[in-house]
Structure 1
Amino acid sequence: MALRQRFASLDHKIRLKGDEAQHEQTDAWSNRDLIPLPPWRRTWGWFHFYGFWAIASLNIANWQTPSTFLTMGLSVPQAMLIIVVGRILIALFSTLVAWAGLEWHIGFTVQNRYSWGLRGSYIPLLQRILLNFIWNAVQCWNGGRLIAVCITAIWPSFARIPNTFGPDMPTTTYEFVGFVVFWFLSTPFLLIRPEKFKIPFLVVCLWCGLGMLAWMIWALVVAKGVGPLWNSGQKLPASSPWGSSWLIMAGINQTLGGLAAGITNGSDFSRYARAPKSYVIGTITSCLITGVLVSLIGLVTAAAAQKIYGEVYWNPPDLLMVMMDNGNGSSKARAGVFFLAAGFAFTAMFENICGNAVAGGIDLAGLFPRYIDIRRGAIITFVAAWIVQPWQLINRATTFISVLSSFSVFLAPIIGIMTCDYYLLRKRRVRLTHLYKTKNSSYYFWNGVNWRAIPAWICGWAPTIGGLVVTVRLDPTPPRPLVQLYFLAFFIGFFISAIIFYFLNVLFPVPDMDQIDDVDVYGSFSPAEARKIGIIPLDDDTIVGKPAAEDGRRSAENVVVGDMGSKV
Structure 2
Amino acid sequence: MALRYRFQKLREKVQLHGDNEQHEQTDSWSNRDLIPLPPARRTWGWFHFFGYWAISSLNISNWQTPNSFLTLGLSVGQSMLIIVLGRLLIAGFSVLIAWCGLEWHIGFTVQNRYTWGMRGSYIPLLQRILLNFIWTAVQCWNGGRLIAVCITAIWPSFARIPNTLSASMPTTTYQFVGFILFWTFSTPFLLIRPEKFKLPFQVISLYCGIGMLCMMTWALATANGVGPLWSTGTAIPSTSMWNSSWLIMSGINQMIGGIAAGITNGSDFSRYSRSPSHYVGGTIASAWIVGIMVSFIGLVTTSAAQKIYGEVYWNPPDLLMVMMDSGNGSSKARAGVFFLSLGFALTAMFENICGNAVAGGIDLAGLFPHYINIRRGAIITFIAAWVVQPWQLINKATTFIQVLSSFSVFLAPIIGVMATDYYILRSRKVKLSHLYRTQDSDYWYWHGVNWRVIPAWLGGWAPTVGGLVVTVQGKANPPRGLVELYYMAFLIGFFVSSTIFLVLNKIFPRGGMGEYDEVDIYGTFTAKEAARLGVVGLDDAGDVIEGVERAADVEDKKGTTEEVVEKN
TM-score by length of 1: 0.95
Secondary structure of 1:35's counterpart equals coil
Residue equivalent to 2:462:
462
Rounded to whole Å, the distance in 1 between the matches of 2:209 and 2:447 is 50
Residue equivalent to 1:140:
140
Rounded to whole Å, the distance in 2 between the matches of 1:521 and 1:358 is 27
Deviations 1:32-59 (A, max 9, x none): 0000000000000000000110011100
Contact 1:426 1:513 in 2 (8 A): yes
Residue equivalent to 2:438:
438
Shift of 1:203: 1.0
Matches within 5 A, 1:116-515: 116-515=116-515
Shift of 1:528: 1.2
Deviations 1:106-155 (A, max 9, x none): 00000000000000000000000000000000000000000000000000
Contact 1:538 1:556 in 2 (8 A): no
Amino acid at match of 1:385: A
Secondary structure of 2:371's counterpart equals coil
Secondary structure of 1:56's counterpart equals helix
Rounded to whole Å, the distance in 2 between the matches of 1:539 and 1:66 is 55
Contact 1:422 1:428 in 2 (8 A): yes
Amino acid at match of 1:6: R
Shift of 1:539: 2.5
Contact 1:57 1:290 in 2 (8 A): yes
Deviations 1:272-306 (A, max 9, x none): 00000000000001012100000000000000000
Rounded to whole Å, the distance in 1 between the matches of 2:97 and 2:271 is 11
Rounded to whole Å, the distance in 1 between the matches of 2:367 and 2:37 is 19
Rounded to whole Å, the distance in 1 between the matches of 2:429 and 2:508 is 20
Deviations 1:47-91 (A, max 9, x none): 000011001110000000000000000000000000000011001
Rounded to whole Å, the distance in 2 between the matches of 1:527 and 1:482 is 53
Secondary structure of 1:525's counterpart equals coil
Contact 1:86 1:252 in 2 (8 A): yes
Rounded to whole Å, the distance in 1 between the matches of 2:171 and 2:332 is 30
Shift of 1:360: 0.0
Rounded to whole Å, the distance in 2 between the matches of 1:476 and 1:128 is 33
Larger Rg over CA atoms: 2
Rounded to whole Å, the distance in 2 between the matches of 1:2 and 1:207 is 56
Secondary structure of 1:119's counterpart equals coil
Matched, 1:27 2:36: no
Shift of 1:97: 0.3
Shift of 1:556: 13
Deviations 1:436-483 (A, max 9, x none): 000000000000000000000000000000000000010111000000
Amino acid at match of 2:460: G
Contact 1:521 1:559 in 2 (8 A): no
Rounded to whole Å, the distance in 2 between the matches of 1:556 and 1:451 is 39
Amino acid at match of 1:153: A
Rounded to whole Å, the distance in 1 between the matches of 2:314 and 2:350 is 22
Residue equivalent to 1:63:
63
Matched, 1:112 2:107: no
Amino acid at match of 1:273: S
Q: Give the % identical residues.
A: 73
Contact 1:464 1:486 in 2 (8 A): yes
Shift of 1:205: 1.3
Amino acid at match of 2:225: G
Rounded to whole Å, the distance in 2 between the matches of 1:557 and 1:278 is 36
Secondary structure of 2:56's counterpart equals coil
Amino acid at match of 2:444: Y
Secondary structure of 1:539's counterpart equals helix
Q: RMSD of the alignment, in Å?
A: 1.5
Rounded to whole Å, the distance in 1 between the matches of 2:546 and 2:295 is 56
Shift of 1:518: 1.7
Rounded to whole Å, the distance in 2 between the matches of 1:259 and 1:374 is 22
Rounded to whole Å, the distance in 2 between the matches of 1:499 and 1:559 is 47
Residue equivalent to 2:47:
47
Rounded to whole Å, the distance in 2 between the matches of 1:109 and 1:535 is 23
Matched, 1:523 2:523: yes
TM-score by length of 2: 0.95
Rounded to whole Å, the distance in 2 between the matches of 1:352 and 1:238 is 40
Rounded to whole Å, the distance in 2 between the matches of 1:534 and 1:98 is 21
Rounded to whole Å, the distance in 1 between the matches of 2:372 and 2:547 is 28
Deviations 1:367-407 (A, max 9, x none): 00000000000000000000000000001111110000000
Rounded to whole Å, the distance in 2 between the matches of 1:271 and 1:518 is 20
Rounded to whole Å, the distance in 2 between the matches of 1:398 and 1:256 is 20
Structure 1 ranges of 4+ moved more than 3 A: 555-560
Contact 1:21 1:557 in 2 (8 A): no
Shift of 1:558: 10
Residue equivalent to 1:78:
78
Structure 1 residues without counterparts, runs of 5 or longer: 543-551, 561-568
Q: Number of paired residues? A: 548
Shift of 1:357: 0.1
Deviations 1:250-270 (A, max 9, x none): 000000000000000000000
Residue equivalent to 1:94:
94
Structure 2 residues without counterparts, runs of 5 or longer: 549-568
Evaluate the alpha carbon distance shift between residue 42 and residue 348 of structure 1 in structure 2; reply closer, same or farther with a 3 A threshold.
same
Rounded to whole Å, the distance in 1 between the matches of 2:544 and 2:230 is 64
